[in-house]
Amino acid sequence: MSSVPRPALAIIGGSGFYDFFGDDAVSLEVDTPYGAPSAPITVGQVEGRQVAFLPRHGRKHEFSPHTVPYQANLWALRSIGVRRILAPCAVGSLHADWGPGTVAVPDQLVDRTSGRPQTFFDNGGVHVSFADPYCDELRGAAIGSAVPELPLQSTATMVVVQGPRFSTRAESRWFAAQGWELVNMTGFPEAVLARELEMCYAAIALVTDLDAGLEAGEGVSAAAVFAAFEQNLVPFKGLVRNAIAAVEGTDTCARCRVHAGVTLPFELP
């Protein structure tokens, strides 16, 4: 058992992050009470530390945003020792000045999803503090890891929509009118499930498009989103590498420990 890796830090991201690891990386098949995660978890060395990687959409991008097994993903990571998660993701911009290639480190989240299992606590009367949905320590590491090629915004509110469709122009204009800057399809319930399992979590968002309410013409297309992500993937991965190196500590921070004095209906993995 001593040879089984126990990484404290994980990346939940896209398949483009597989090449973070060398030939010494190992693959872990993890079973959970919520079924199998999106894919086996890869564990290897990144910037001198042991890091786990889980592709949220699966190895072949087989999971749509609303079908990602979020509960299994977070449970699996916690069960192998992960306590801190960096979550790179693609987003649309609701801010005219934040064009493709902008990186934002959100500090707030708005949930506009529906029908997604979003808690581990269906019984037991457990209520989790979520006023500040992202870990300040991990956000600081990401903000301090900017690269010259990608302008970085250190605060943003990210609204998470159900998908898999993109927003209508009216929805996009409505979101922007609320003062929200980013729109995404996967950031919830990922963030709250991490909090329920007392894991630090921070999103690192790469803008791939201006959302429909800001953009003239035919609106957002999946092909354009994927192309913009690929175009900026190399410097974006460099930023994530920098953030991995900058993360201090291996345990959950005090703010993300939310169950003090609470009797849980089960033990955390």
Q: Which of 23, 31, 97, 209 is the catalytic position? A: 209
Strands of 84-168 (E only): list them: 84-93, 103-104, 108-112, 152-153, 157-161
Q: Which two tokens stand for residue 134?
A: 């992202």
Q: Which of 97, 107, 132, 211 is the catalytic position? A: 211
CB of 42 closer than 8 Å to CB of 31 = no
> In this structure, is the dihedral angle defined by the CA atoms of residues 247, 253, 256 and 257, taken in order, positive or negative?
positive
Q: Is 111 a catalytic residue?
A: no
Q: How far apart are CA 262 and CA 268, in angstroms?
A: 13
Q: Is 122 a catalytic residue?
A: no
Q: Scanning the structure block, which residue is given the tokens 């974006």? A: 236
Packing angle, helices 233-246 and 136-143, rounded to 10: 130
Q: Which residues participate in catalysis according to the annotation?
A: 209, 211
